[in-house]
């Protein structure tokens, strides 16, 4: 369930905010004192329309990075929007923002309560255990939509040749509290009567486990291409939900492809 997913009908109004929150402004800028370089990544991505969906939505795959260092700092292609407020040595901390498209009864194919468009806000912390291994933890609160807590634990192994190419791969564990689980996977007694599904009251905990991989390659000084793929498998209460078993899918694949453009400074 890629966190960069955005509802297509909100792309235009959300894009300026997303670009601002995606720009890293951390210690890279003071590493060498050289001219600042900027990289913009933009393209389409395909991901589940809501957690547990067997339908997919197309949204923008967006990232903006800036640096004065010799190479751009690694960012996983599926991580939430946000920039470090604190970046000391191998540790970084900052805000995290997520978005989940709305789910209506007509979308899911049963008379279940609507879950509105979710704007999530929270924080992340990450540490580079080695130059090749980064571990990240984040938590986000739904300010609208599900209004629960969700988060993710991830690790990425990174191989790169400067800024010429970069490959990353690693596991993902997605978490959610009971309010989040009930919004997408629960069936109240009233909803059971109207939908024909059995009543179901899921708890919080681990929602899914999965893997993600990304690749970026430059073709010359300015242009490059970025691709990523991710697969999550719902487990536990979310997998056992009648919403998942009868109306959705335990499998939650996503992926994207984009062009990148780098400008400013000297490579």
pLDDT at res. 89 = 87
Q: What is the pLDDT of residue 114?
A: 95
> Is 3 among the domain residues?
no
Helix (H) or strand (E) holding 179: helix 178-185
Q: Tokens in use for 227?
A: 């691709």
Asked whether residue 12 carries a pLDDT value surpassing 50, the answer given is: no
Is 1 a domain residue?
A: no
Asked, for residue 59, whether it belongs to a domain, the answer is: yes
Q: What does the pLDDT look like over 226-265, one tens digit per residue?
A: 999 999 999 999 999 999 999 999 999 999 999 999 998 7
107 φψ region: left (φ > 0), alpha (ψ -120 to 50), beta (else): alpha
- Other CB atoms within a 10 A radius of the CB of residue 208 amount to 24
Identify the bridge partners of residue 265 per DSSP, sorted by sequence position. Answer: none
Q: Are 244 and 211 in contact (CB under 8 A)?
A: no
- The residues, any chain, with a CB within 8 Å of residue 13's CB and separated by 6 or more, are none
The pLDDT score that the predictor gives to residue 98 is 93
> Among candidates 15, 69, 62, 3, which has minimal Cα distance to 257?
62
Q: Are 52 and 243 in contact (CB under 8 A)?
A: yes
pLDDT tens digits, 71-81: 899 999 999 98
Among 244, 247, 248, smallest CA distance to 110 is for 247
CATH number at residue 178: 2.40.160
Domain count, the chain: 1
- Domain assignment present for residue 15? The answer is yes
Look at residue 217 and tell me whether its pLDDT is greater than 80: yes
Q: Is 150 a domain residue?
A: yes
pLDDT-derived band at 267 (thresholds 50, 70, 90) equals low
Candidates 195, 192, 206, 199; CA nearest to 237 is 206
- Residue labelled with tokens 């008379």: 111
Residue 148, in any domain of the structure: yes
Q: Enter the tokens of residue 114.
A: 């609507």
**If DSSP codes are grouped into helix, strand and coil, which group holds residue 240?**
helix
Query: pTM of this prediction?
Result: 0.84
In a domain, 2, yes or no: no
Q: What average pLDDT does this structure show over 118-128? A: 97
Residue 68 structure tokens: 């004065």
C-alpha to C-alpha distances, 71 to 19, 98, 218, 236, 260, nearest whole angstrom:
20, 27, 12, 41, 15
Whether 100 is covered by a domain: the verdict is yes
- Residue range(s) defining the domain that contains residue 216: 8-263
């Amino acid at each position: 369930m890629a966190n960069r997913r955005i509802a297509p009908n909100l792309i235009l109004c959300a894009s300026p905010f997303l670009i601002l929150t995606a720009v890293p402004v951390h210690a890279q800028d003071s590493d060498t004192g050289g001219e600042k370089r900027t990289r913009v990544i933009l393209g389409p991505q395909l991901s589940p329309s809501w957690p547990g969906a067997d339908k997919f939505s197309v949204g923008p795959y967006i990232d903006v990075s800036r640096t004065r260092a010799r190479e751009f700092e690694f960012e996983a292609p599926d991580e939430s929007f946000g920039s470090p407020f604190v970046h000391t040595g191998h540790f970084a901390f900052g805000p995290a923002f997520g978005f989940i498209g709305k789910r209506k009864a007509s979308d899911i194919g049963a008379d279940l309560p609507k879950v509105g468009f979710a704007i999530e806000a929270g924080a992340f912390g990450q540490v580079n255990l080695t130059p090749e291994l980064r571990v990240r933890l984040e938590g986000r609160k739904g300010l609208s939509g599900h209004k629960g807590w969700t988060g993710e634990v991830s690790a990425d192994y990174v191989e790169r040749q400067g800024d010429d190419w970069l490959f990353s791969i690693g596991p993902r564990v997605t978490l959610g509290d009971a309010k989040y689980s009930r919004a997408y996977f629960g069936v109240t007694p009233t909803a059971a009567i109207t939908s024909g599904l059995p009543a179901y009251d899921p708890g919080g905990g681990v929602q899914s486990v999965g893997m993600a991989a990304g690749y970026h390659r430059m073709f010359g000084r300015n242009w490059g291409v970025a691709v990523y793929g991710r697969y999550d498998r719902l487990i536990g209460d979310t997998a056992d939900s009648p919403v998942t078993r009868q109306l959705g899918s335990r499998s939650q694949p996503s992926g994207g492809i984009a062009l990148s453009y780098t400008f400013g400074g000297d490579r």
